[in-house]
Amino acid sequence: MTPGSYVALWFPHLKTCWFRLRRPALRDKPFVLAISDHGRKLIAAADPKAEAQGIFAGATVADARAIIPGIEVLDDISGLSDKLLSALAEWCIRFTPVAAVDAPDGLLLDTTGCSHLWGGDQPYLQAILTRLQARGYDVRGAMAGTIGAAWALARFGRQAVIDDPAHQRDELLRLPPAALRLEAATLDKLQKLGLVTIGHFSHMARSALRRRFGPQLLRRLDQAFGHEEEFLQPLQPVGQYEERLPCLEPIATATGISIALQRLLETLTKRLQKEGKGIREAQLKAYRLDGKVEQQKIATNRPSDNAPHLFKLFELKIEAIEPDLGIELFTLEATKLEDLSPVQEQLWAGDQGLEARPIAELLDQITGRFGSGCIRRYLPDEHHPPERSIKPAQDLNEKPAIPWRTDRPRPTILLPQPVPILVTAPVPDYPPLLFRHQGKVHQIKKADGPERIECEWWLREGPHRDYYCVEDQDGARYWLFRSGHYTGDQTKQWFLHGYFP
Amino acid sequence: MTYIELQTTTNFSFLRGASHPEELVTKAHEYGYKEIAITDRNTFAGIVRAHGAAKELNMRILPGCRLDLLDGPSLLAYPTDKNAWSRLSALLTTGNLRAEKGQCHLYRSDVYTHSAGMKFILVPPAALTPGFELDEAFRNAAAEYREAIGPNLYVAASRSYLGDDTKRLHRLSQLAGRLDMPLVATNDVHYHTPDRRQLQDILTCIREKCTIQTAGFRLYENAERHLKPTREMLRLFRQYPDAIRHTKEIAEACVFSLDMLKYVYPEELTTEGRTPQEELIKLTWEGAKGHFGDTIPPKIEATIEHELTFIEQMNYASYFLTVHDLVRYARSQNILCQGRGSAANSTVCFCLGITSVNPAKFDLLFERFLSSARNEPPDIDVDFEHERREEVIQYVYRKYGRDRAAIVATVTQERRKGAIRDVGKAMGLSVDTIERLLHSSWRSDAELYDEQRLKEQGLNPKDKHLIKVLELTTQLMGFPRQLGQHTGGFVITQGKLTELCPILNARMEDRTCIEWNKDDIDILGFLKIDVLALGMLTCIRKAFVLAKQHYGLDLTLANIPQDDPAVYEMVSHADTIGVFQIESRAQQAMLPRLRPKTFYDLVIEVAIVRPGPIQGDMVHPYLRRRDGLEPVEFPSEELRNILGKTLGVPLFQEQAMQVAIVAAGFTPSEADALRRSMATFKAQGQVTKFQEKLINGMVAKGYTREYAHRIFKQLEGFGSYGFPESHAVSFALLVYVSSWLKCYYPDVFACALLNSLPMGFYQPAQIVIDAQKHGVEVLPVDVNYSGWDHLLEPRDSGSVGTSQSPADFSVSPQPLAESSNSSRAPTASATGANPYRPLRLGFRQVGGFKEEDARLLVAGRDALDRDGSPGIIGSPGSGPCPAAYTSIPQLRDAGVSQPALERLADADAFRSLGLDRRRALWEVSALGDRPIAMFEGQPAESAYEPSVALPDMTASQHVVQDYASTSLSLKAHPVSFVREKLDLLRILRTGDLAGRHDGDFVKVAGLVLVRQQPGTASGVVFITIEDETSTANLVVFHDIFMAYRKVILQSRLLMVEGQLQIEGEVVHVIVKHCHNLSPLLRDLVTPASRDFH
């Protein structure tokens, strides 16, 4: 086996560190993160100050409060560890190309051949740790010849960097079995048998160990001692539809960005055309010298492999990219693809509705220029009040979640604001006899109703509305309503709310 | 014209109706209705309440039901007479028993076969089709219904302001005309006022498991489903006057009322053609002769005559026979039982063997049990062994059949917490906000929340959404949520129970219950028998069995020698761990002060250490009077008669009632109302109502106002909990029996108690230590000796259990304080040989070990015995266990699973094989590679593997592991391992405390057994700690607790400094300082263990 070099990083207080960074008020207070479990609140993580008082993850919040009555309890964010670790691993890419998340609280880096740039293993590891600590994280790390050994030493070892295999072996033998990444049940059994260091059992017959603890113990032993190879799952497998453009000189102008973008688009769309795919969503990333990454996303209404069209969409966003001191790497990834069903060229252009490519492209551009929401398509929404019974569609192809209602009469044209009208109507809830709108008097010939609709009381409280469908002397049909009920001598206001065809 | 609302959904149609039946009835009365129907969905659960409320308002309820069918439109059904009611009830029963609890599966055909004598209303769909037609499926169903049901079918017309009301009514009337099916107006009422719409929306959300924001069309679009005044209904249906007229037609046809239901006691309990009364008389006198011999004391004879006459007058004989039958069955199955509660006031019950309070010894107050003034059916509660009560329940079902016997329902109500959760969730609050809301509300249901506390929780009390949540929560509280089953209340009838009310499946297997709860059946005058469970009876029965087995004694509850001074002596020393009722710390603190000498003292002991007497400040006056520190005075002769036996201090409910009658001029029924208001804490306000009446009454009769106040305060103390005397006597009997067993047969008692766990206050460790103190040898769990249950080993097998192979670590049983009580042992011999049987711990003590594995293990062991395999090698004294396991694979071959064997290794149960737990675990772990198929029977590979040296375990490590696996250790007490260090710190042993003087400053340390903060003790915390000698009781006042809060809550091993308080035998340490010594324990298990911190 070729001698490798691995760094394991351990963040014992990953989440609480992040919370403390985000909320400076927590700096000097003990606090815990809590999750709800069957009605109980359990501690998901405790910060070092709370741990010092004997509060650990797994206890209940009630217990913690009993110990520190005023302890700050914050809601844990599910999936936070993974997110943080991914971000940290991504950040680590500047130290090595292969960084992997080691859930729930660590990272693993393949550092083979990396450290010479930093002047050796020790300064290299130190650089990583110092910079992470500077970012506010409690971190421990170790470098060793195997993943298993690095993992063990980071958590249980005395020494951070070990390059001598014999030395590494001796160190491992002194560590507890927990350093081998074993299941709780196995650790429990080892503990009961009094086998409290790796050295206690590593020399035992392999068959005797396998019989009692299964193959996993042996595998972990072998991995730690380097008898069996182990591979990392790098955080960022290079995207399947991703193009990279490294720049020899950092780019800091809009023109430079445009050129880079055009090149990337060309290569990518060419590839896509071969495979008959089109872009629905794409992402441009610009890696800046200072370590930040600028990102821009575009989305299309229908799959597109049309480089100029896609460029037009991105072009609108170029100025939003802040190059700062310069950009050293661009990547363009097609994050959402769809099969591009080739549209047959038609003999004559018919009405293609929403399928029409020019319409789709036009909409993309309008949306890109004026922002989304200036042209709307409406879908039915499940609410009784008419104003809330429709909602704007998110995109061109969104299908309604519920069918349009047909069991109640609804006007084709619904006014955004009901218009007050003057009405003559018998009390209490009979249809009106006539109404006056924009100076014209409408004699009502036919009417149906009332349909009584109440307010959504959890949003606002108010009078109900009695809606009537009416037809005037000209055969035109209207949707009218009276707000509230006739009670005593109070006159109620009437409104026009829509037109029927 | 008169309109009668025929379609009302109450909140007993769970999560649909938004008003209580009572609210609907009251509102209907306000609107001038004389009649109203209740039609919940497939249930009668709310009808009795509505009926009760209507009776008070001189209204009539038309009982009915909405039948939701699986294969057709719903129907409203109204029985016209009692037979029709029975059929409807039977119909619902059919549907209920087909489905899981809470559901009712009915089909059209069921309705057709039960439809005679009923009026039906067909419920049309909510909307017309887009073509303004009635749904075709509905029209077809309507035609079919009309065909099958005939002219008793109507069709409902409602105007719910859905926009197409006019068209719908037109279509319905067309249909009605075509099918000759009259139209009838209803308003599909869901709530009594339109304000409840919001709550109804919330209920919809809870039902549909969505939030109000996403509920959409599942909500009704308006608030029209409320009860409307007749005038308004007439206006809405002005075009269809017939529809209004038909409501009256239906109401007039339905003359049935719940008052017509007649409950009939079961009658088959008589023999030789006697009437129930004759049978009861015969059994009573037979019982009396059994108890008193041929010459029954004249007083008893008179009482029996009196009771029997009364029972005959009230026609209750069948009831007594029914209870007697249950008790007789239990006896025949050797199930211990005993009546409790007020029934113990009846001499007849005593003669029938239902209760055990001997009327020759106690003044029984039959009127407390039954009186014509209360006109209530009798209510006898009988306790059975908790592990075998199910047998009695199943006997009831078997004997009377499931169509005649069922358990009474309990209506689970929305309580504060549940209501906040439900409403909060429906209103879309986050889980976190709901939690905070829960924290900011008070404990009592009366005050929902407090602005200040809302703010403390970071909530804005002015937030409209939050206010709405709280408003709706208040409305929802008290709503019925589901029907549960009563703990053991049975209704048994002569005819079919289903003719009275529907039966449904309970959540538990093999249980069926009815829809009505205790209050409902009270209103209707049904009989109820409570079949309750009591753990101590299980323990006592098991003790009787052991006593028979090992000592040849035939013990029963009745033949235990009475008034034994040695028993009272033991009790007076508070040596009562495990004893019924008087084992709690509060009781133990009271015993040395009260020093019971007679049985009646035990009765007082049981009754006095209750929140009632404590809060009523009756304890100290009683003790002072008993000790002669205060004269026993009675302000009047009439009170001497009542309070004489308790030295002038009222301790029992009966006394409270009698004082009210005699001294304040209450009528018996008023006194009973007083008792009821005292018995339920909910009605605390009602007690205050009686204050004026009581005090004025007493003053008028010449008592001083001050004395009257004091009496009232004492009575008010019962507001929380007070015992009736008869109940205390019943319990005291069990107290005495369990004390006697503990006193004379501590081995039997401890074994039975351990086998009946969980019950009582103590953990197995304390029970075992206590047994050892009484001189019982306790032996560890072992694969070759133990069974699932704990056992007593035969005396002559001698020291079998102590076998330990030489290589093992062995700890001799801890030398515990020499038992001064062992002389009480009846068979103690002069040579000092242990008179008791050794107690062998059973596998049930091993954490995680399953009974099934124990069964296989024991079966395998017995099989070895039959095969004549050799006994244990090197076993000293080969007693009655000639064959035994000699290797671990044998156990595996017997079928014991590997995880189970690992548990046994953890429990150190392989000592008789010469293996300690660590070695055993090593061997057990290797069992995985059992040769199978063609290699079966050959030695496993592991048999040849080189032996491995495992690190030795220290004594302390063993003890720690013992605790982890079996929650106790017979090897040593953990504290003994740190004793040297404690000595250096001048820390006393708990056992030495009693030898010190009152007021001494001491240091003492031990494992924390219990921390309690009783609500009544104004922030005082009581802690019990235990070391290798004994236990110590600590008192921590509030300020000290706050100062040492963390130490107290985190310590496993707690050391305190404080002042001794010695009152007679009661020793307390008033804590001044606390220290956490738990790290010392951690050192016991070097280097890293997770067991002790």
pLDDT digits (tens, 9 = 90+) for B73-105: 999 999 999 999 999 999 999 999 998 888 999
pLDDT value at A239 more than 80 = no
Q: Which has more confidence, B1082 or A8?
A: A8
Instruction: Identify the three-state secondary structure at position B523.
Output: helix
Sequence-distant (≥ 6) Cβ neighbours of residue B873 within 8 angstroms: B886, B914
From B220-224, B395-399, B1018-1022, the region with the lowest mean pLDDT: B1018-1022
Closest CA to B925 of A488, A185, A12: A185
The yes-or-no verdict on residue B773 having pLDDT over 60 is yes
- Find the mean pLDDT for residues B331-359: 87
Window 191-210 of A, Cβ < 8 Å to B = 191-196, 200, 204-205, 207-208
Contact A192 B1050 (CB under 8 A): no
In the predicted structure, residue A234 carries a pLDDT above the cut 80: no
Check whether B600 has a pLDDT greater than 70: yes
For residue A409, the chain B residue with the least C-alpha distance is: B163
| Sign (positive or negative) of CA dihedral B475, B477, B478, B483 | positive
- Report d(CA A488, CA A445) in Å as an integer: 28
Q: How far apart are CA B1087 and CA A200, in angstroms?
A: 13
In the prediction, which pLDDT does B359 show?
81
Residues 6+ apart with CB under 8 A from A9: A88, A92, A106, A107, A108, A109, A128, A129, A132, A139, A140, A141, A154
Q: Is A211 in Cβ contact with B942 (below 8 Å)?
A: yes
Q: Which of residues 397-436 of B touch A (CB under 8 A)?
A: 427, 431-432, 435
Give me the pLDDT at residue A237, please: 60
Contact (CB<8Å) A406/B217 = no
Mean pLDDT of B1001-1026: 83
Residue B1087's closest CA among B927, B906, B954, B935?
Answer: B954
Nearest to A383 among B163, B216, B468 (CB): B216
Residue B674: alpha-carbon gap to chain centroid: 25
DSSP summary character for residue A403: P
Which residues is B839 bridged to in the sheet? B778, B792
pLDDT-wise least confident of A100-104, B437-441, B902-906: B437-441
Higher per-residue pLDDT: A159 or A51: A51
> CB within 8 A of B818, min separation 6: which ones?
none
Q: Are B764 and B968 in contact, with CB atoms under 8 Å apart?
A: yes
B166-170, B269-273, B816-820, B1016-1020, range with greatest mean pLDDT: B166-170
Is it the case that residue B175 has pLDDT exceeding 90? Answer: yes
Choose the weakest-confidence range: A419-423, A485-489, B395-399, B752-756. Answer: A485-489
Residue B688 has pLDDT above 70, yes or no: no
Question: Looking at chain B from residue 162 to 201, which residues have their Cβ under 8 Å from any Cβ of chain A?
Answer: 162-164, 166-167, 197-198, 201
Task: Mutate one of A67, A72, A379, A407 to test the B interface: name it (highest B CB count within 10 A).
Answer: A407
- Of the partner residues A381, A408, A464, the one whose CB lies closest to the CB of residue B163: A408
3-state secondary structure of A217: helix
Q: Count other C-beta atoms under 10 Å from residue A237's C-beta.
A: 8
Beta bridge partners of A245: A330
DSSP assignment string, A331-363: EEEEEEEEE-PPPPPPSS----GGG-HHHHHHH
From the CA of B291, how many Å to the nearest CA of chain A?
55
Confidence band of B36 (pLDDT split at 50, 70, 90):
very high
B447 pLDDT exceeds 60?
no
pLDDT at B779: 93
Which residue among B219, B926, B953 places its CB closest to the CB of A212?
A: B926
Q: Would the pLDDT of A355 be above 60?
A: no
pLDDT at position B812 = 36
Does B1045 contact A67 at a Cβ distance shorter than 8 Å? yes
Please say if the pLDDT value at position A39 is more than 70: no
Q: What is the DSSP letter of B165?
A: H
Mutate: best of A51, A77, A211, partner B, most B CBs <10 A: A211
**E strand residue ranges, B522-601:** 528-534
Q: How far apart are CA B678 and CA B685, in angstroms?
A: 10
Rg, C-alpha atoms of chain A: 34
- Please give the backbone phi and psi of residue B661, each rounded to the nearest 5 degrees, phi first: -70, -50
The DSSP result for B798-851, as a single string, is TTGGG---TTS---PPP-PPPPTTGGG-TT--TT----SPPEEPPGGGSTT--H
Mind telling me how many Å the CA of A449 is from chain B's nearest CA? Answer: 5
Cβ-nearest to B1046 among A53, A189, A195: A53
Q: What is the average pLDDT across B9-13?
A: 94
Choose the closest CB to A451 out of B163, B922, B961: B163
Set of chain B residues whose Cβ sits within 8 Å of the Cβ of A195: 950-951
CB contact under 8 A, A211 and B929: yes
- Chain B residues close to A458, C-beta within 8 Å: 212-213, 427, 465, 468
Check A54 against B197: CB less than 8 A apart.
no
What token pair was written down for B781? 């769990």
3 state DSSP class of A472: strand
- Residue A397 and residue A378: Cα distance in Å, rounded? 12
User: What is the per-residue pLDDT across B642-667, written as a single tens digit (0 to 9) for each?
Assistant: 888 888 888 887 787 778 888 888 87
C-alpha distances (whole Å) from B877 to each of A457, B550, B872, B882 are 84, 20, 10, 10
- B809: confidence class by pLDDT, cuts 50, 70, 90: very low
Query: Across B20-85, where does the E strand assignment appear?
Result: 35-41, 60-69, 72-79
Chain B contacts in chain A segment 439-498 (CB below 8 A): 448-454, 457-458, 464, 466-467, 469
* Average pLDDT along chain A: 83
- First vs last C-alpha separation in chain B: 80
Instruction: Tell me which chain A residue has its CA closest to the CA of residue B167.
Output: A448
Q: What is the pLDDT of residue B800?
A: 41
pLDDT digits over B556-575, tens only? 887 888 889 999 999 999 89
B residues 1029-1088 lying closer than 8 A (beta carbon) to A: 1045-1046, 1049-1050, 1087-1088
> Is the pLDDT at A366 greater than 50, yes or no?
yes
